[in-house]
Amino acid sequence: MADVARLSGFSAMTVSRALKDGASVSAKTRERILEVIEEIGYVPDLSAGGLSSKRSGFVTALVPTINNSNFSDTACGLTDALSKRGLQLLLGYTDYSAAREEELVAAMLRRRPEGMILTGGFHTPRARHLLESAAIPIIETWDLPDNPIDQVVGFSNAEATGAMVRDLTARGYRNIGFIGGSSKRDTRGADRRAGYEAAMVELGLGEGHVITFGTPPISMEQGGQAIVQMIGQWPEVDAVICVSDLSAFGAIMECHRRGWAVPGRIAVAGFGDFEVSRCCWPSITTVTVNSYDIGKQAGELLLSTLDKIRSGAEIQAATQKIDFKVVAREST
């Protein structure tokens, strides 16, 4: 920047201003400065700028995995919302582990993000403490935590799965099973299972039949193994809800393989409206949630919160509920 200043005949401060839009620099000056910049190939150092302005330009997002189109859609929504204002996303993935989340929170905070987006409402005490001490806006997504840290953009996974049980019931299914991961690591998965169980009891359909399989997230292949186990154990089951479309897909393919008609012999539903559920034959009944929109809305909420902080306006922790909808397709 000093070089640009010297070569253009202005001070470094004026160069700095010329690079920022909305700053008071004459058109002529800016033009000359940009010319020099182009000429010598100057690339400003944002981190140095951030050190000085106390605004890093970073926002951190932590998702369970980027290897799942739902969360990567959310990450895209976030990127789109934030990049409009020049904020850059620092993306981390926790592998569904709260311990890894804690490590990532600690690591990311060293980059002085202006805000942080988390997935779900379950965090280690230390992670929570770090986040609260950071004094930046936090948004939890993909869930409706009982005791949110700050802001929330999400929906009730339990309620959504309950809606699926009701939809299946309305179609005449009575012996409805559930296939999911085997632990509480995937808290959204656990919520879905809880929602299933609650709805079954509520509708007087008994306690239901649950097959848990593998470490979350449950894979396509495990979905296939689980449905075999389900039918082996409870042949009377006529419909099964899978914790995600991926396992539902695996289950349906295994049914094809074994000659079990879907939905004739058994109906299969998923969760998440992944591309595979739309394209599969039979197409898979699922719960659709706009994953991209979760990210977009979280990003916009963060931006407006940041604006309020700067203008000194009052901030109140809000919860933005995201719509979900049961989409009935061929598989049920």
Site of interaction with DNA (CB under 7 A) = 1-2, 9-14, 16-17, 19-20, 24-26, 28-29, 44-45, 48-49, 51-54
Would you give the binding string for a second copy spanning residues 6-25, x where CB under 8 A is met?
--------------------
Smallest distance, Å, CB 150 to a second copy? 18
Q: Contacts with a second copy in 217-236 (CB under 8 A)? A: 219-221, 224
Beta bridge partners of 317: none
Cα 89 from chain centre? 14
User: What's the residue count for the chain?
Assistant: 332
Would you give the binding string for a second copy spanning residues 43-62, x where CB under 8 A is met?
xxxxxx-xx----x------
Task: Please count the residues of this chain forming the interface with a second copy, following the rule CB under 8 A.
Answer: 49
Q: How is residue 285 annotated by DSSP?
A: B
How far, in Å, CA of 302 to CA of 118, rounded? 12
* Dihedral angle, C-alpha 49, 52, 54, 60, nearest 10 °: 30
Would you give the binding string for a second copy spanning residues 74-103, x where CB under 8 A is met?
-xx--x--------xxxx-x----------
Contacted by 78, from a second copy, DNA, none: CB < 5 to 8 Å by type: none
Sign of the alpha-carbon dihedral angle for 148, 149, 155, 158 = negative
Does 248 bind a second copy (CB under 8 A)? Our answer is: no
Task: Name the residue with tokens 């942080």.
Answer: 116
Contacted by 171, from a second copy, DNA, none: CB < 5 to 8 Å by type: none
* Residue 227 contacts residue 179 (beta carbons within 8 Å): yes
Contacted by 310, from DNA, a second copy, none: CB < 5 to 8 Å by type: none
How far, in Å, CA of 72 to CA of 318, rounded? 24
How far, in Å, CA of 188 to CA of 71, rounded? 13
How far, in Å, CA of 291 to CA of 19, rounded? 35
Does 280 bind a second copy (CB under 8 A)? Our answer is: yes
In the complex, the residues that contact a second copy under the rule CB under 8 A are 41, 43-48, 50-51, 56, 66-67, 69, 72-73, 75-76, 79, 88-91, 93, 106-107, 109-112, 130, 133-134, 219-221, 224, 246, 249-250, 253-254, 256-257, 275-276, 278-281
